Amino acid sequence: MSLATVHSRAQDGVAAPAVTVEVHLSGGLPGTSIVGLPETAVKEARDRVRVAIQNAQIEYPARRVTVSLAPADLPKDGGRFDLPIALGILAAAGHLPKEALARYEFLGELALSGELRAVTGVLPAALKTVRAGRALIVPRTNAAEAALVSAAEVRGADTLLDVLAFLRGAGDLPEGAVAATANTNDEERDYPDLADVRGQAQARRALEIAAAGAHHLLFAGPPGAGKTMLASRLPGILPPLSEAEALESAAVRSVAGQAMDCDKWRMRPFRQPHHTASAVALVGGGSIPRPGEISLAHHGVLFLDELPEFDRRVLEVLREPLESGRVAISRAARQAEFPAAFQLVAAMNPCPCGYAGDPSGRCACTPEAIRRYRARISGPLLDRIDLQVEVPRVPLVELGDAAPPGETSAVVRARVVAARARQMARAGRPNAALNSRELRRDCVLRDRDHALLERALDKLGLSARSYHRILRVARTIADLAGADAIAAPHLGEAIQYRRLHAPDSL
């Protein structure tokens, strides 16, 4: 019986479900059919594969060729199945030993010349290939990306003939390699330095607290006060990514088809979409679901500058991912789930002109115009931002060379790492992610401190969600101080970071 089986992987969100490519040759009129819920690009593989095999100087079988992609109910898209289909046809026709295919999985699109072209989603496939106990053969341009999975055996090929020679034992394919796990050393990480920021002691302090506890952060202040500069320094003071976290983040970029810089793959992502971005651009979507900006910021920072300028309906889609750390995209025929454990940093002006409250008195906005401007951000979204900080204009005396520079990112990061280590040892997660049971256990207040918090909630008109978020921030401040319990100074500082939420402020 002329039947061959080849292992491959589909792309379903950030998952890489196994696909078995079965090829059968039978009598009848010559022709090729592909079954198993293939999309248009997969159906077109029959023409690409036929011409690629012929250009490799191999006779294409003059028989009835049936290709089945199993499981049949899993949609298949893209050109990733070209290589396994071609190998299945050649194995079924006797051009290579079928047993040679058993320990490998294959991904790759074929050019008509027989060259292999890169495909998306190679990194999730490499992760699943390791768990299946097989090696992975991909186009050479994908090999370095797949080799980011340290336990994976990856081989890269330039052409279909290279793969055939390797499987026949007549040639070799180079193993994929990545440059010595770059950026595992904190000192080598290429982030902007916090020492570049002059003045803004309170904003720097809030940035450190946000990094230590993985809290969301909002900066409000006039143009040129340093909001964007501060936000861009957050990744540099966050704890280094673990290998598992770095792979999760890189996997999202892989399925999105973004170029992978294998020298910087362990750096935390920093995404800054323009305020004209649509809801689909932010959370992902499309007929074939693809990740959006919030997923591309997974384990990193999502910076939304000029927050009130975003369409309010676009901002509202952030509310659920901010709580769950995931986003589910549902379409008529496809559903996908993407990770979105990002840290939100937002920046805004206090009014349309940007100078409300500035000592210069330059603001000419009416109270009604200011109210409408601030109302573009809904209360429920603002309620989910733990730290809300005013960033005033920096006096010129603090900008000169004579002014002492602030602490470097390395110094601040050392405190952040120590505080985060306390949290992981205590609860196994950052303070921002503590659940209700862990809050009751780890955020115990003395009676007088609890009374202080109740008065603050009543005066500022804060919600029950704000109550829990204040406790989480206070716990982080205590961790930065090396304290085992939350004290009044820690709680008082946490409360002041909610002042922008007061009805007379924002």
Residues pairing with 291 in the sheet: 284
Residues spanned by CATH 3.30.230.10 within the chain? Answer: 2-167
* Cβ atoms of 466 and 501 closer than 8 Å: yes
SS3 203: helix
Give the span between the Cα atoms of 148 and 130, in whole angstroms.
12
Residue 7 corresponds to which tokens in the numbers above? 């292992």
Whole-angstrom CA distances from 28 to 8, 22, 61, 63 are 28, 19, 12, 6
Q: What is the pLDDT of residues 219-252, one digit of tens each?
A: 999 998 999 999 999 999 999 999 999 999 999 9
- Determine the topology of domain 2-167 in CATH: Ribosomal Protein S5; domain 2 (3.30.230)
- pLDDT by residue for the chain (506 residues), tens only, comes to 589 999 999 999 899 999 999 999 999 899 999 999 999 999 999 999 999 999 999 999 999 999 999 999 999 999 999 999 999 999 999 999 999 999 999 999 999 999 999 999 999 999 999 999 999 999 999 999 999 999 999 999 999 999 999 999 998 999 876 544 444 444 446 899 999 998 899 999 999 999 999 999 999 999 989 999 999 999 999 999 999 999 999 999 999 998 888 888 999 999 999 999 999 999 998 888 899 999 999 999 999 999 999 999 999 999 999 999 999 988 777 788 999 999 999 999 999 999 988 888 889 899 999 999 989 999 899 999 999 999 998 887 677 766 677 899 999 999 999 999 999 999 999 999 999 999 999 999 999 999 999 998 888 888 888 999 999 999 999 999 999 999 999 999 999 998 765 444 44
**What one-character DSSP code corresponds to residue 115?**
B
Cβ neighbors of 282 (< 8 A, separation 6 or more) are 273, 292, 293, 294, 314, 317, 318
- Among the listed residues 109, 126, 117, 103, the one whose alpha carbon sits nearest the alpha carbon of residue 16: 126
Residue 294 corresponds to which tokens in the numbers above? 């919030």
43, HSE (Cβ side, Cα atoms, 13 Å): 6
* Cβ atoms of 231 and 342 closer than 8 Å: no
Cβ neighbors of 120 (< 8 A, separation 6 or more) are 11, 78, 80, 254, 255, 256, 257
473: number of Cβ within 10 Å: 27
Cβ neighbors of 287 (< 8 A, separation 6 or more) are 331, 333, 334
Give the span between the Cα atoms of 160 and 346, in whole angstroms.
49
Residue 256 corresponds to which tokens in the numbers above? 């999105």
Q: Is 391 left (phi over 0), alpha (psi -120 to 50) or beta?
A: beta
Tokens 């008082």: give the residue: 492
Which helix (H) or strand (E) segment holds residue 368: the answer is helix 367-374
**What one-character DSSP code corresponds to residue 414?**
H
pTM of the model: 0.91
Residues spanned by CATH 3.40.50.300 within the chain? Answer: 186-424
Residue 354 corresponds to which tokens in the numbers above? 């940007």
Class of domain 186-424 (CATH, top level) = alpha beta
* Cβ atoms of 412 and 206 closer than 8 Å: no
